Structure 1
């Protein structure tokens, strides 16, 4: 097999190998990620990545490798980091970015530039005890993508965005109910 030059920073050979492995053994497509966090007073929390199970392998090197700090803007917190909703929006932006770069590379589309702006609406009336009937989550998220390519037309870019929207793990998680199990240790 001849090595493909990376397109959009994506190793197409590795991607093809992962896909082939997944067709042979579905356990290689199953991943599990974790974070552990501790309260730093007020609304501030520091979390680190945990070990991960990726494609049948246990990666203990990820445990503690990355640190994330969250907080709330003043007056709810000390504004020492993004708030949890901003992390949700960033997670969607990051997932779209992975999908766009990878899917474009698979399709032979060279991305010249790419930006994404995401915003979302939330009503905190239930949190503040103002109205318990108000849904406490995000009610709408809007993503605006700007992408340019020297070898793809607008329709190809629109098809690319539609495919990324269809296959985004984070978008799917946000748009569909997911079981969340919480317990006190």
Structure 2
């Protein structure tokens, strides 16, 4: 949930967190030219795959979570493993970001991808990009205190800071394109049919 009541991390979670000590070290430093080539190659490859068979556009993602500790979760997504937890005020050990913080992180990271993708497509240059998302959440529904409101965010604000040689107007047009094409923003902005079942 929110990060306002963060507490100390227990030793058992510190050991588990060694998996995440410096995840940025796993991402290669690239030049603008290398990034441009990778983005162009990815776009061309997907265009070719989908032209060959429209069914290739359909992807299914699978993520599995196992409850650990008080309210923590170990998430498995392909070969990747990461922790999700809550602060002490929400019965957690504060060993990792909360589910709603990861949701905002998913929005931010998806926006970074789509900004890069469409800047390349539109011939714009992004030297640096930093995106901040803030979400407002009322916990009364979560705790069953008041059933009339939403359980999730009732307001989300996204701030995009871009540096580069293009004009503010060009970057604003880019932002509008990104809002039309960002998959995670679409999740936030529109209802998605979701079903649940006990195994």
Q: TM-score range by the shorter chain?
A: 0.7 to 0.9
Q: Which residue of 2 aligns with 1:13?
A: 41
SS at match of 1:184: coil
> Does residue 152 of structure 2 align to residue 124 of structure 1?
no
Task: Check whether the contact 1:10–1:101 (CA below 8 A) recurs between aligned residues.
Answer: no
**Cα separation, 1, equivalents of 2:152 and 2:42:** 38
Which runs of 5 or more structure 2 residues have no equivalent in the other structure? Answer: 1-32
Aligned pair partner of 2:58 in 18, 30, 33? 30
**Cα separation, 1, equivalents of 2:80 and 2:71:** 20
**Cα separation, 1, equivalents of 2:131 and 2:59:** 26
Judging by fraction of residues, say which structure has more strand: 1
Q: Which residue of 2 aligns with 1:56?
A: none
**Cα separation, 2, equivalents of 1:21 and 1:179:** 27
Higher relative contact order (CA 8 A, sep 6+): 2
> Does residue 175 of structure 2 align to residue 147 of structure 1?
no
- Computed over aligned residues only, the root mean square deviation of the Cα atoms, in angstroms, reads 1.5
Q: Which residue of 2 aligns with 1:183?
A: 197
Distance 1:68 1:157, change over 3 A: same
**Cα separation, 1, equivalents of 2:37 and 2:100:** 29
Q: Which residue of 2 aligns with 1:52?
A: none
Structure-2-length-normalised TM-score = 0.79
Distance 1:158 1:145, change over 3 A: same
How far is the alpha carbon of 1:7 from its aligned partner?
4.2
Moved more, 108-117 or 12-21: 12-21
Which runs of 5 or more structure 1 residues have no equivalent in the other structure? Answer: 50-62
Moved more, 155-164 or 126-135: 126-135
Structure-1-length-normalised TM-score = 0.84
Aligned length: 166
1:41-52 matches, within 5 Å, as: 41-49=69-77
> Does residue 178 of structure 2 align to residue 164 of structure 1?
yes
Judging by fraction of residues, say which structure has more helix: 2
> Does residue 83 of structure 2 align to residue 74 of structure 1?
no
